[in-house]
Amino acid sequence: MSNLARVEALLYVTGDAGISIDQLSKVTGLDTKAVQSILEQLTFKYQNDSDSALQIIMYDQHYQMTTKPELSSDLKQLFRDDQHQVLTQATLEGLTIIAYNQPITRVEVDDIRGVNSSAIIQKLVKQGLIKAVGKKDVPGTPLLYATTDLFLNLFGMNSLDDLPPMDLDTDIKGD
């Protein structure tokens, strides 16, 4: 099997998590320059193959195999009636609070929103947009939540640094 096929397989199996050049180098035994060259070859291969639905992207120093943006309408159609439904205003509000304040507990989200956010957090976890990343060292040791790589991909960001600056004059609750 060629080194290109090996790297391609690793990109495929790592899915949403993606994989770094260092990880690819460690697994394949190739030096990082060789891995970088292979990633460039794969990126070029997919960009120039109009019959391929795939592309290679980089986000937060990790490479990932994804579908091309031109297919988004088909994918949205597929998931319209599935668990990946459009985010409600309340869910989007909770996601925004988590994105800008992560890691954050559910109670802290509740305090910012002024209402219980349990259902919203459960929905966001189920959709893979947030995940528990630890526990806060306070009585009760509540879970801390943060956004996932799927969140970054869904909103077209490479890292959390791409979040737009928060407009402190806007009422996040829309009241």
The string of pLDDT tens digits covering residues 164-175 is 887 665 554 444
> What domains are there in the chain, each with its CATH number?
3-71 (1.10.10.10), 83-162 (1.10.10.10)
pLDDT at 119: 86
Q: Low-confidence residues of the chain, pLDDT below 50? A: 82, 84, 172-175
CA distance 132 to 118: 13
DSSP of 3-22: HHHHHHHHHHHHGGG-B-HH
pLDDT single digits (tens) 70-97: 888 887 666 565 454 567 888 899 999 9
Token pair 């397989």 is found at 9
pLDDT at 80: 60
Extended strands (E) in 116-164: 130-135, 143-147
pLDDT at 12: 87
pLDDT at 175: 41
